[in-house]
Amino acid sequence: MPTDIEIARAARPRPITEVGVALGIPHGALIPYGADKAKIAGSFIQGLAREGKPQGALVLVTAMSPTPAGEGKTTTTVGLGDALNRIGKRAAICLREPSLGPCFGQKGGATGGGHSQVIPMEDINLHFTGDFHAITSAHNLLSAMVDNHLYWRRDPALDPRRIVWRRVLDMNDRSLRQIVASLGGNGAPAETGFDITVASEVMAILCLATDLADLQARLGRIIVGYGLDGKAVTCADLEADGAMAALLKDAFQPNLVQTLEGSPALIHGGPFANIAHGCNSVTATRTALALADYVVTEAGFGADLGAEKFFDIKCRQAGLTPAAAVIVATIRSLKMNGGVARGDLSRENLAALARGCENLGRHIANVRRFGVPVTVAINHFVSDSPAEIAEVETFVRRAGAEAILCRHWAEGGAGAETLARKVVELVESGKARFAPLYADDQPLWAKIGTVAREIYGAGAVTADKAVRSRLAQWTKAGFGGLPVCMAKTQYSFSTDPEALGAPSGHEVHIRDVRLSAGAGFVVAICGEIMTMPGLPRHPAAERIGLDGEGRIEGLF
- Within 13 Å and on the Cβ side, how many CA atoms surround 381? 19
Which residues are CB-neighbours of 304 under 8 A, at least 6 positions away?
65, 362, 363, 366, 455, 456, 493
Single out the residue of 272, 256, 254 nearest to residue 264, CA to CA. 256
What crossing angle do the helices spanning 241-248 and 212-221 adopt, rounded to 10°? Answer: 140
DSSP character for 507? E
Handedness of CA 38, 41, 42, 45 (dihedral sign): negative
Cα gap 158→227, rounded to integer Å: 4
Residue of 156, 286, 262 lying closest to 211 (CA atoms): 286
Gyration radius of the chain's alpha carbons? 23
110-to-8, 121, 298, 451 alpha-carbon distances in Å? 13, 8, 12, 28
Q: CA dist 17 to 14, 31, 113, 254, 264, Å?
A: 8, 9, 24, 15, 11
- Is the Cβ–Cβ distance between 510 and 469 less than 8 Å? no
The CA distance from 524 to 203, in Å, is 17
Active-site residues: which are they?
A: 73, 75, 96, 107, 273, 301, 381, 409
CA distance 111 to 97: 9
Element (DSSP H or E) covering residue 162: strand 158-163
Q: Is the distance from CB of 91 to CB of 293 less than 8 angstroms?
A: yes
Q: Edge-to-edge strands of the sheet including 158-163? A: 158-163, 223-227, 232-234
Q: Could you give the angle at which helices 131-151 and 201-208 cross, rounded to 10 degrees?
A: 130
**Neighbour count for residue 478 (Cβ, 10 Å):** 9
CA angle in degrees (0–180, nearest 5) for 367-370-375: 35
Question: Which of 504, 497, 494 has its CA nearest to residue 459?
Answer: 504
Q: Give the distance, in angstroms, between the CA of residue 64 and the centroid of all CA atoms in the same chain.
A: 15
Dihedral (Cα; 512, 516, 520, 525), 10-degree rounding: -20
CA distance 451 to 454: 5
* Residues 556, 172: Cα–Cα separation, whole Å: 17
At 287, which amino acid appears? T
